[in-house]
Structure 1
Amino acid sequence: MSIVAMDLTRHVNTFGRYLREKYGEKVHKISVNAAFTCPNRDGTKGIGGCSFCNNASFSPASTKAGDITQQIQEAKKTVSERTGAKKFIAYFQSYSNTYGELDQLKAYYDEALADPAVIGLAVGTRPDCVPDPVLSLLASYQDQGYEVWLELGLQSCFDNTLERINRGHGFGDYADAVNRARALGLKICTHLIMGLPGEKPSDTLTSFKKVIDLGIDAAKIHPLHIVKGTQLAREWKQGQVKELTMEEYTDNLARIIRMAPKGLLFHRLTGSGERQYLLSPDWVMKKWDVLGMLYNKLEAQA
């Protein structure tokens, strides 16, 4: 099936469509790297990070830590030439982007929003790194009319899985963060990974149901990537990690989409990462094949 013929918005409430309808034009997220770390790397809770995490494999290769204004200017030029977008959301993506002193966080966010073409923030972080003052800061930008998204990396609702992948937090931390963010009216996007060690693909449906029962606005679903330089890669080489197939992924993703509340947005339906780091599975690099298989399944079940 051609890309032109495949219209996933027939079945999926996509983030791109939401932004276009709200703002009347294309709005594009651009990644910003403010050189954050996380408590699972700096020794506060652990070192080495999550077992699946080599952040370079998930962040755009073009995004290097440094001057935020310069990053935004360069990204705007590149994205505008490719997509025609004139409005942008600054996506603080790498590591835990609320993990720092409040004054420093505000300085970073303010610098991104100083560009008149930047209409909002998407802030990726861990659920154990969002104290009330940080949530209040993010809510203050929303109160000023900016598009603000708190992106919480949960990955799984199962505490035994979170322990196995060395997350350093449990589902209770996530539930607490969601409840406090919702009390301030913040929009929440939750990240889940399908195919984690010890889980069946269908277990992600359980995680999804638990997060929508708590109340979220959007989800990002991602197939497990086994990438170089991680503990997970070492386990995979020893035959301890079962690889997720594209059939399994799209089967269960279609089920997730069908069970989603009507107003729930999907910020992402798959992910490809960086080829130079990927060990397995190879199919995650074939984004349009994945989306095409998903589309066919949704069409067949319509």
Structure 2
Amino acid sequence: MDLTRYVTTFGQAMQRKHGEKVYKLSVNAEFSCPNRDGSRGIGGCTFCNVSSFSPATTRHGTVREQIEHGRERVGQLTGARKFLAYFQAYSNTYGELDRLKSLYDEALACDQVIGLAVGTRPDCVPDPVLDLLADYQQQGKEVWLELGLQSANDTTLATINRGHDFNAYRDAVSRAQARNLQLCTHLIIGLPGERGDDALDSFARVLELGVDSIKVHPLHIVKGTQIARQWKQGEITELSMEEYCDTVAEIVRRAPPELIFHRLHGSGTPDYLLAPQWCRSKWGVLGEIQKRLEG
């Protein structure tokens, strides 16, 4: 199986740029979220349980300790010598600027870390934070700002208690692009009330803004979430593997050649995943996507 015939993967893009493989090391810096602490809302997004996607190895220790542990583990498995510190859990630009700078600096001071990937929300990127990230980039660091949009449909965003609308995303993209920051947008396929055509519409609206890369994965129904309760009560239905693969294949067909794909699927943590069970089969899903592209 070789999807790189059809897409430019993040791994490919980094290898071309840096001359060797570059791996992300997940970091949990214990950030919160404005959709949890009351500043924008309470309860968080209806699909979110951070433990379902944040590796267990990132839940304890300082930023340096997490990176050193991850670097040793990944290095032994892959022989990698270059890494990005991936601030992944919750909203990793949501805090005082001095604290953000301290955490980012701690990560960048680690051996073999050549840059940052910072996951956050579109409504959590004030100009001073963007200036800080742009300054790292100007110093020669590899910097990626990953914005969780999930859907471009404002009705869907309200349904999942997202706490922002598409205009917030559009504004964040505009201000980040003004600083030449590299942008990755996250989209979820199969959100309540949505199906394939809705995801394709979201993808089209993202492309119109000229982002550098995207990350797509199916809706995971995981323990401890509002969506899990709705699913158990029969209020929402899970996405089928066939529809997911059809949608992703169409996204790939519509993508411009320069678009980078950070992810085409996500499997989640088995201990938390309730549905769809087919999400557990990463290579099976990717294989089905490739069959559609070859057909």
TM range, normalised to the smaller chain?
Answer: over 0.9
Matched, 1:135 2:130: yes
**Structure 1 Cα separation of the partners of residues 68 and 138 of structure 2:** 25
Q: Is the 8 A contact 1:192 1:220 kept in 2?
A: yes
Aligned to 1:254: 249
- Please point out which of 45, 49, 68 is paired with 1:50: 45
Q: C-alpha displacement at 1:162, in angstroms?
A: 0.2
Aligned to 1:183: 178
Q: Is the 8 A contact 2:7 2:257 kept in 1?
A: no
**Structure 1 Cα separation of the partners of residues 26 and 18 of structure 2:** 20
Q: C-alpha displacement at 1:164, in angstroms?
A: 0.3
One-letter amino acid of the structure 2 residue matched with residue 90 of structure 1:
A
1:24-103 matches, within 5 Å, as: 24-103=19-98
**Structure 1 Cα separation of the partners of residues 134 and 101 of structure 2:** 12
Q: TM-score, normalised by structure 1?
A: 0.97
Local SS of the residue matching 1:202: helix
One-letter amino acid of the structure 2 residue matched with residue 210 of structure 1:
R
**Structure 2 Cα separation of the partners of residues 241 and 70 of structure 1:** 41
Matched, 1:159 2:154: yes
Q: TM-score, normalised by structure 2?
A: 0.99
**Structure 1 Cα separation of the partners of residues 159 and 166 of structure 2:** 13
Please report the RMSD computed on the Cα atoms of aligned residues, expressed in angstroms: 0.7
Local SS of the residue matching 1:219: strand
**Structure 1 Cα separation of the partners of residues 168 and 292 of structure 2:** 35
Local SS of the residue matching 1:128: helix
Aligned to 1:147: 142
**Structure 2 Cα separation of the partners of residues 161 and 232 of structure 1:** 13
Percent of residue pairs identical = 64
Matched, 1:108 2:107: no
Aligned to 2:227: 232
| Moved beyond 2 Å, runs of 4+ | none
Aligned to 1:195: 190
Aligned to 2:260: 265
**Structure 2 Cα separation of the partners of residues 85 and 202 of structure 1:** 39
Provide, for residues 218-241 of structure 1, a one-character-per-residue CA deviation record: whole Å limited to 9, x for no partner.
000010000010000111111111
Q: Is the 8 A contact 2:57 2:66 kept in 1?
A: no
**Structure 2 Cα separation of the partners of residues 64 and 54 of structure 1:** 14
Long gaps (5+) in structure 2: none
**Structure 2 Cα separation of the partners of residues 80 and 254 of structure 1:** 32
- Please point out which of 6, 14, 22 is paired with 1:19: 14
